[in-house]
Structure 1
Amino acid sequence: MKIAFIGGGNMGEAILGAMLEKKLCKPADISVSDISESRRDYLKKKYGITVTASSREAVSGKNVIVLAVKPQNINEVLADLKGILKPGQLVLSIAAGVKISTISRGLGHGSIVRSMPNTPAQIGLGISGWTATGEVSEEQKAWARTILGAMGQEIYFDDEEYLDAVTAVSGSGPAYFYLFAESLIDAAVEVGLARKDAEELVSQTMLGAAHL
């Protein structure tokens, strides 16, 4: 499987890093386009992959194109790539809240997977909800499962409408846990515990509870 990443930020790096760590592809099979020269240099040095400032150059000859840019930048990326993708290429978007219809119309392309990973993917403990258009083949769905599963677990939904709920539950979910933990630590400090001790107590309690 040959993969192009449009955007080499934290989530893009989490995916490519997991793929390489689990030997699901080789550095020679990965290209990343990013507007930041320093980011490109970092990724090339750390992973030995191909980097470029050109999205069009990155996608050439690749099986899967991962759209790993922020939602506010998606239209610019779609316009740049419109009309150049081949029918056999799969587009996998991790841009939060960007609907398949927007991506399909913007690219002039039908084989699209929309997914919603979460931040624990950066340590291999994430979960991703995803869906696919009717043009996506079974082989391409297997590619999507491999890519998303490299970061943790994945769940397929047969209707895109569920992706908004996935975003609210697992996509945003880690922030709720952080807020709860912070509130519990503050409460512990108020009743006399040192903050360092409170942080250790709460962190281990949450970890232990998760493993019960």
Structure 2
Amino acid sequence: MKIAIIGFGNLGKTFASSFIKSRFIKSEDIHVITRTLPMPEMSLGIPMVNFYNISSLKITDSDIVILATKPQDFEEVVKTLKPVISDEQIVLSVMAGVSIEKIKEKLGVKKVIRSMPNLGTQIGMGMTVFSASAETDRKDLFIVQNLINTTGKSIYAEDESLINPATAVSGSGPAYVFYFMNAMIKAAEEFGFSSSEAELLVHQTFLGAINLQSASNLSNEELIVKVASKGGTTESALKIFDSHTLDKIIAQAMQSANSRAIELGA
């Protein structure tokens, strides 16, 4: 199988690296179009002759074309790709906000898969939600899902409109976690811990909690009860969260992220 990657930024590199490491795709079967050609030591083992800064007929030979550019660059990408792309190729997009219909219309293709990966893909622990055009058959979906899963885990959404909420939940989600961690680190420093001690305290707490939750059959509510004994310190902290309706604030923030994702795709 041959892959063409349009754009060699963080996501383009992440996909290329994951495909090669998983031995799903050979490095010589990956072709890349990028504005700036990488130095050989940054090529991830992809032959330098497979990098182009203009459209190449090699793209026509690829089974899957991955659009890993910024959405604001899509119109420029269309000019580059349209002369060399075929309507039999599978197009996998990781561009936020650009609909399947728009990609089909602008590129003149049929088989389009739109995805929303998150930051965890960079370490093989990503979460990706993807949807596909009606012309994409089960075999195509199976192949693409296997490719996506080299970067972590994925969910197929039959309804493309779920891509925007996925952006609000898992796409933006890592930043919510970092925000909460940062607030806890600052509070720990105010107690008198050094910055390195505060970071270790919070990092290990999150790491342990996530792994415990993953290994447990208990719900999050049940796990909270296990930590929060009646009249104890945890219960006191949780009462502050409840008094400020933190759960509602989080929900409102995610609704705002979803609304913005819809605006960007308009």
Same fold? TM cut 0.5: yes
Deviation of 1:166 (Å): 0.3
CA distance in 2: counterparts of 1:177 and 1:58, whole angstroms: 41
- Is residue 64–residue 92 contact of structure 2 (8 Å, CA) maintained in 1? yes
Tell me the SS of whatever aligns to 2:24: coil
Q: Name the counterpart of 1:107.
A: 107
Residue 52 (str. 1) matches residue 52 (str. 2): yes
CA distance in 2: counterparts of 1:40 and 1:16, whole angstroms: 16
Q: Name the counterpart of 2:189.
A: 189
Q: Identify unmatched segments of 5+ residues in structure 2.
A: 213-266
Aligned partner letter, 2:154: E
Q: Name the counterpart of 1:157.
A: 157
- Sequence identity percentage: 36
Tell me the SS of whatever aligns to 2:61: coil
Deviation of 1:25 (Å): 1.1
**Structure 1 residues 201, 121: CA separation in 2 closer, same or farther (over 3 Å shift)?**
same
- Is residue 52–residue 58 contact of structure 1 (8 Å, CA) maintained in 2? no
TM-score by length of 2: 0.76
Q: Name the counterpart of 2:78.
A: 78
Please show how residues 84-99 of structure 1 align to structure 2 within 5 Å. Answer: 84-99=84-99
Deviation of 1:36 (Å): 0.8
Deviation of 1:90 (Å): 0.2
Tell me the SS of whatever aligns to 1:36: coil
CA distance in 2: counterparts of 1:90 and 1:134, whole angstroms: 12
CA distance in 1: counterparts of 2:211 and 2:173, whole angstroms: 18
CA distance in 2: counterparts of 1:187 and 1:56, whole angstroms: 54
- Is residue 145–residue 154 contact of structure 1 (8 Å, CA) maintained in 2? yes
- Is residue 33–residue 58 contact of structure 1 (8 Å, CA) maintained in 2? no
Deviation of 1:40 (Å): 5.9
Moved more, 68-77 or 81-90: 81-90
CA distance in 1: counterparts of 2:157 and 2:167, whole angstroms: 13
CA distance in 2: counterparts of 1:53 and 1:129, whole angstroms: 30
Moved more, 51-60 or 179-188: 51-60
Tell me the SS of whatever aligns to 1:75: helix
Instruction: Name the Cα RMSD after superposition.
Output: 1.4
Please show how residues 54-69 of structure 1 align to structure 2 within 5 Å. Answer: 54-69=54-69
**CA offset digits 1:125-152 (Å, max 9, x no partner):** 0010000001112221122101110100
Q: Name the counterpart of 1:139.
A: 139
Tell me the SS of whatever aligns to 2:209: helix
**Structure 1 residues 57, 101: CA separation in 2 closer, same or farther (over 3 Å shift)?**
same
CA distance in 2: counterparts of 1:58 and 1:93, whole angstroms: 19
Please show how residues 25-36 of structure 1 align to structure 2 within 5 Å. Answer: 25-36=25-36
- Is residue 88–residue 110 contact of structure 2 (8 Å, CA) maintained in 1? no
Which protein is richer in helix relative to its size? Answer: 2
Q: Identify unmatched segments of 5+ residues in structure 1.
A: none
- Is residue 79–residue 106 contact of structure 1 (8 Å, CA) maintained in 2? no
User: Comparing both chains, which one has the higher relative contact order based on Cα–Cα distances under 8 Å and sequence gaps of 6 or more?
Assistant: 1
Aligned partner letter, 1:104: K
Tell me the SS of whatever aligns to 1:153: strand
Residue 166 (str. 1) matches residue 163 (str. 2): no
- Is residue 6–residue 55 contact of structure 1 (8 Å, CA) maintained in 2? no
Aligned partner letter, 2:75: N
Deviation of 1:41 (Å): 4.1
Please show how residues 192-211 of structure 1 align to structure 2 within 5 Å. Answer: 192-211=192-211
CA distance in 1: counterparts of 2:60 and 2:97, whole angstroms: 27
TM-score by length of 1: 0.94
- Is residue 121–residue 151 contact of structure 1 (8 Å, CA) maintained in 2? yes
